[in-house]
Amino acid sequence: MNTSNTGVTEQLMISQIMLPYLLPFFILPLLGIIINFFLPKNNGKNFGLAPWIIFISLQAVMLGISAYLHFDFLPALKLTFAAGFKWNWLPSLGIYFDVGIDGLASTFLFFSSLTFLLISLFLGKWFVQEKGRVYLNSFYVVILSVNGTFLSQNLILFYLFWELVLLPILVMVAVYGHKDYRAALMKFFIFTFAGSVAMLSAFIALAVLNYQHFGFWEFDFTSLGRVMALSTPTSVFFMVAFFISFAIKGHVFPFHTWLPQLYEKSPLPVIFLITGVLFNMGAYGFLRFFPNYFLWPMTQTAWGDFFSYLGAFGVVYGAWVALAQTDARRMLAYLSVSHMGYFVMAIFAKNGFALYGSLIQTCVHGLVAVSLLAIFVPLINSETKSEASSSYLLSQWRGLAAKYPWFTTFAFISTMAALALPGTHGFAGEFSILFGSFQEKVGPTLVALVGVVLGALVLLKMFQQLFWGASSEGTSEKNMVVSFSKRYLLAAAISVILTIAIGIYPQPWFAPGQTGLLKFVNTLNLTQR
């Protein structure tokens, strides 16, 4: 009894401590939107540097708090529960504003904050354009949605933040989208709406089953564990429903078909957010729910093998199709599909090493994708190019290495990180996934190895066509005038430092998230004895 009271008292004390640490992740994006509405235009045309400076300042505060929680606060406490606070909302239905942070959430929160900061540095000019207010407000809503998704401890609250991210994406594509964007936007909406229906149906069924068997309405994460224990068919139903929802958001093969078309019709800043946000949200959903709540159907039914092969074929398919693309946007879209295949394969490998690799790969994916996309920022902003479809054709840019050696170095390091070269942050995750998967599921791993080779060919082809070779007619030396802002140079330097630092010594960057996955690994070891 004393132990129970001590535990309750500890949680109450932690809740009071965590309030000032977690509230800024919700208040600061809203504050940024309010400030942005009152900023006057500079000479009636643009907003000057004020919106960008405010955004950088607010994002830096959130990054600082997330870094403190990730590297210092949570490791020192060594908690066995998510530290946060809980406010009544609709308590009779089991719905609360319940937010908390553990090792897994802090890892995603820190890396997403870091990714957002890099995006704002690479894309500084977009914050001062005449339509910059729309992009900036949409960016703030994206940040709010991502923060809320990672911190939510109630399923309904999780669902609301999960769906909120779709609104700014739809707005940005509608405002900034290229010609004939409506078909791509409609396809994106249909897919995401189907995923929303699957998730909401699962949550409602979960609450009904919880009420029927335990006598009360509950949408807490723990209620999912209680319902999963009822029967294997029940757990399989929820696993499939959750998989469809997370797979659509994370563009898992074969639920990815909305992505290449949306990439093609979206401007580069919108592609930055789609790549850096939706992949991470889908991956977080998998890591948050599947290892903890779907252990039984994953290990004791054939579904685990099915999803493992699905992920492996996704690796090969994405890389194979990317190899045939001439438009850089579509090429990078299919590469992202291929990378998500590794992640799915790792989740269902039933191996702790592969699972840890999936965490690393997910968190660095945003950094890798931002670095690759950043290669095209100075190209589409050059003196002779506008952001038209031709700007992304690889054949339009040749011989850049001769004129811009430092830019070539940055692009080379970014390409090698995406290729998972040893010493870069892309290597630790991909190697862990393949090594762990091979121990448990040889067949899917061998299939995925084909995708490794194809993916390398894609990235080397892109780099070779952009930076080497003679200039074509449309890209004579006098036409290839590329400029780089100081913000871009700073972001490129930070990106290179992170690539090498995480690649050489990844353990401290992901230790809190690894601790959050130990419970699953220990349980998995018991089931396999």
Give residue 209's pLDDT band: very low, low, confident or very high (50, 70, 90).
confident
Instruction: Give dist(CA 300, CA 466) in Å, integer.
Output: 49
Cβ atoms 436, 353 nearer than 8 A: yes
Give residue 206's pLDDT band: very low, low, confident or very high (50, 70, 90).
confident
Nearest to 226 by CA among 239, 240, 243, 213: 213
Give residue 3's pLDDT band: very low, low, confident or very high (50, 70, 90).
very low
Q: Is the pLDDT of residue 242 over 80?
A: yes
Q: Is the pLDDT of residue 21 over 90?
A: no
pLDDT at 469: 63
| Cα–Cα distances in angstroms (integers) from residue 246 to residues 1, 242, 290, in the given order | 40, 6, 11
Share of the chain above pLDDT 70, in %: 78
pLDDT at 477: 46
Q: Is the pLDDT of residue 144 over 90?
A: yes
Collapse the DSSP code of 366 into the 3-class scheme (helix H, G, I; strand E, B; otherwise coil) and give the result: helix
Q: Is 90 left (phi over 0), alpha (psi -120 to 50) or beta?
A: beta
Instruction: Give dist(CA 115, CA 405) in Å, integer.
Output: 25
Cβ atoms 154, 43 nearer than 8 A: no
- By residue count, the chain amounts to 529
Collapse the DSSP code of 373 into the 3-class scheme (helix H, G, I; strand E, B; otherwise coil) and give the result: helix
Q: Which of 12-21, 124-133, 386-395, 501-510 has the lowest mean pLDDT?
A: 386-395
Q: Is the pLDDT of residue 10 over 80?
A: no
Q: Which of 211-215, 226-230, 265-269, 386-390 has the lowest mean pLDDT?
A: 386-390
Q: Is the pLDDT of residue 421 over 80?
A: yes
pLDDT at 527: 43
Share of the chain above pLDDT 90, in %: 7
Q: Is the pLDDT of residue 271 over 80?
A: yes
Cβ atoms 360, 424 nearer than 8 A: no
Instruction: Give dist(CA 281, CA 251) in Å, integer.
Output: 11
Give residue 315's pLDDT band: very low, low, confident or very high (50, 70, 90).
very high
Nearest to 116 by CA among 249, 270, 259, 277: 277
Cβ atoms 413, 402 nearer than 8 A: no
Give residue 294's pLDDT band: very low, low, confident or very high (50, 70, 90).
low
And the tokens for 416?
Answer: 């090698």
Any idea of the CA torsion for 309, 427, 104, 523, to the nearest 10 degrees? 50
Specify the pTM: 0.86
pLDDT at 446: 92
And the tokens for 492?
Answer: 């490129």
Number of H helices and E strands in the chain, helices first, is 25, 2
pLDDT at 146: 92
Give residue 300's pLDDT band: very low, low, confident or very high (50, 70, 90).
low
| CA angle in degrees (0–180, nearest 5) for 264-181-466 | 20
Q: Is the pLDDT of residue 278 over 50?
A: yes
Instruction: Give dist(CA 151, CA 143) in Å, integer.
Output: 12
H runs (alpha helix) in 23-90: 24-38, 50-68, 74-77
Collapse the DSSP code of 125 into the 3-class scheme (helix H, G, I; strand E, B; otherwise coil) and give the result: helix
pLDDT at 256: 85
Give residue 364's pLDDT band: very low, low, confident or very high (50, 70, 90).
confident
Instruction: Give dist(CA 411, CA 496) in Å, integer.
Output: 10
Q: Is the pLDDT of residue 383 over 60?
A: no
pLDDT at 316: 92
Taking residues 134-141, report their average pLDDT: 84
pLDDT at 320: 93
Q: Which residues of 31-64 are buried (b: 16+ CB within 10 A; e: fewer)?
A: ebbeebeeeeeeeeebbbeebbebbbebbeebbe
pLDDT at 81: 56
- The answer for residues whose C-beta is within 8 angstroms of residue 207's C-beta and 6 or more apart is 93, 94, 217, 218, 219, 223
Write out the E strands in 50-204: 83-90, 95-101
Taking residues 115-123, report their average pLDDT: 85
Q: Is the pLDDT of residue 25 over 80?
A: yes
Q: Is 423 left (phi over 0), alpha (psi -120 to 50) or beta?
A: left
| Cα–Cα distances in angstroms (integers) from residue 170 to residues 194, 277, 319, in the given order | 16, 14, 27
**What are the backbone dihedrals phi and psi of residue 354, each rounded to the nearest 5 degrees, phi first?**
-65, -40
Residue type, position 24, single letter: P
Instruction: Give dist(CA 356, CA 373) in Å, integer.
Output: 26
Q: Which of 469-478, 483-492, 514-523 has the lowest mean pLDDT?
A: 469-478
Cβ atoms 412, 402 nearer than 8 A: no
pLDDT at 299: 55
Instruction: Give the distance, in angstroms, between the CA of residue 160 and the centroid of all CA atoms in the same chain.
Output: 18
Which position has the higher pLDDT, 486 or 435?
Answer: 435
